[in-house]
Amino acid sequence: MRWMQVLTLALLATPVGLAAQNGGVTRLPGRVPAAALPAIDSIIATAVAESLPTEPLVQKALEGSAKNIPVDRLVNGVRRGLLQLRQARAILTQAVPGQSPPEGHIAAVAAALARGLSGPIVERLLTVAPTEPPGPALHAAADLIAHHFDPDSATDLLVEAHNKGLRGVRLLDVAVAADHELQRPGGRTPSEALAHVRAILPNVPVPRRP
Amino acid sequence: MSPIDPRLQEALDGERDPGELPADLGEAYARLISAAQLLAATPPASVAARVMAEIRQTPLPVPVQPEGPMYRMARWLTRPRAVTVRLRLAWTLALAAGLAAILLLPSAPGPTPGATEGIANFVGHFPGAQSVEVVGSFNDWSRGTLHLSDDDHDGVWRGGAVLPAGQHEYMFVVDGERWVPDPLAGRYVDDGFGAGQQNSLLIVRPVAAQP
C-alpha cells in the first residue's frame, strides 16, 4: 500500500522538475478552469520575468482548482501569492544586501508572511543566519506566535538558540519545548515558559521519530 | 480317555433299555443325551450378527439430490481419493527454506526515506465516513493518491507516506467532497482564496535529523 503511494508520489513529482523550465504552466491545462488560465498564465509569466519562484503560484492554482474555487477568487489567490513573493524578495534583499536571494529562500519567506509573521520579525531572523535556509527559523517563530507568545520575546529566544548552536529543524524543537512548558500543569505564563526554555538551551528535547 | 461303562455304551447305542441301568449310570446317560441334543440343535445367531442383519435389511432413506453440473462437480471434488505425495529432497529443502523465510524474517519494512525525505503520518477521526484521503502540495493537490484507511471501523482513519523534507500544505477530503483541515496538524495557514479557509501545514523533518 505504502509502496504504491510512494510510487504515485514519485510519478507525480517527476513532471515538476521538467515543468519548472517553463514556470510549470504546462501542468495547469486540464486541471485549472479554462476561464482562469489566461490570467494565471499572465501572473506566472510575470513571476518568471521578475525571477521569482513560480512553483508556489502553480501550487496555488492547482489547489484552488481542486477545491472548485470560483474563477475570480482563484485568480486573486494566485495574484496574492505573487505579491507575497515580491514582498519576500524585498525583505530578503534588505536583510541580506549584496546578493540575489535563492528561490527557495524567497518561497520560505513568502510562506512565513502567509502564516502572519511581520516583516520586521522575518528580517531580524534572516539577519541572524543570512546564509542558512530560513524556513525552520521562520516556522518556529510562527509556531510560537500562533501559541500566543510575545513576537519579540519569541524571536529573542530563537536568536539565542541559534547563537547557542541550534540550526535548522532543531529550532522547531525550541518552539515545541516552549509550548510544552506553557501546557505543563501548574500554570506557567508565556514569559515563564520562554525563560525556562532559554535556561536549558541548547538542550531542548528532540522529538521521537514517528 | 477314561473307559466308558459297557452298559452305558449299550444304552447309548440303543441296545439296552436305559431304565435297566443303575442309578449312577442312569444320571450319566441322561447328561450325555442332553449334551448330544444341545450339539445337534442349530445355534442361535449372535446378537451382533442379528443387529447387522437387521441393518442390512432396513432400506436407507435416499435423499432427493439434484443432478446438475454443479452437483456433479461437487460430488467429484468431495469423492474420497487416495493421494500419494512423493517429496524429493531438493523440493523438500526449498519448501523448508521458504517457510523459514516467511516465519523468521521480519516483515517488509516498507519504503525507506532518503536523506532529504521524512515520514508523514496522518490521523483523522471521521466516524461514519466512507473514504478519507489527503490532498496537498506534495501530490499537486491531486485526488486519489494518498488514501487513509480505517481497518477496524472505529472512525479513526490513518495513513502515511514518505515525503520530501520541508513544508507541505494539505487538507483531508472526506467522502470525496468535504474538505477538512487536519484537526491534529497544529499548524495552519490561510489558503489565500478569501473565504477564511485554512490549510493544514506539515513540516516534514529529514529522517537524518531524527534520533
Tens of pLDDT along A90-141? Answer: 999 999 998 899 999 999 999 999 999 999 999 999 999 998 999 999 999 9
Q: Is residue B22 part of a domain?
A: yes
Same domain, A60 and A135: no
pLDDT score, position A19: 45
- Are A204 and A165 contacting, i.e. CB atoms less than 8 angstroms apart? no
Contacts of A57 (CB under 8 A, 6+ apart): A24, A40, A43, A44, A47, A78, A81, A82, A85
Contact assignment for B111 to A209 by CB distance below 8 Å = no
List the single best residue of B146, B180, B193 to mutate versus A (max A Cβ within 10 A). B193
Domain closes at, from B41, B57, B73:
B57
Prediction ipTM score:
0.86
Tell me: pLDDT of A207 over 90. Answer: no
Alpha helices in A37-169 (DSSP H): 37-49, 55-66, 71-95, 103-114, 119-128, 135-146, 151-163
Number of domains in chain A: 2
Cross-chain CB nearest to A12 (options B139, B187, B206): B139
Decide: B169 and B189 in contact? Cβ < 8 Å.
yes
Q: Tell whether A2 and A96 lie within a shared domain.
A: yes
With a cut of 60, say whether residue A16 has pLDDT above it. Answer: no
Q: Does B132 touch chain A (CB under 8 A)?
A: no
- The arithmetic mean of pLDDT across residues A11-26, rounded, is 54
Cα dist. B100→A137, B46, B93, B95, B108 in Å? 50, 58, 10, 9, 15
- Cβ neighbours, 10 Å, residue B142: 17
- Shortest CA gap A22–chain B (Å): 17
Domain holding B6, by residue range, is 1-57
- Expressed as residue numbers, the domain containing A131 is 117-210
What are the residues whose beta carbons fall under 8 Å from the beta carbon of A102, sequence distance 6 or more?
Answer: none
pLDDT of residue B39: 62
Strand pairing of B188-190 and B178-180? Answer: unpaired
Report the domain count for chain B. Answer: 2
Q: Average per-residue pLDDT in chain A? A: 90
Are residues A32 and A63 part of one domain? yes
Radius of gyration of chain A (CA): 20
How far is it, in rounded angstroms, from Cα A134 to Cα A190?
A: 25
Mean pLDDT calculated for residue range A149-166: 97
Task: At B132, list the grid cell.
Answer: 478519507
| Cβ A154 vs Cβ A122: under 8 Å | no
- Count the neighbouring beta carbons within 10 Å of the beta carbon of residue A130: 15
Answer whether B112 touches A (CB < 8 Å): no
Entry pTM: 0.69
Residue that finishes a domain, picked among A85, A114, A143: A114
3-state secondary structure of A83: helix
Residue that terminates a domain, selected from A98, A114, A130: A114
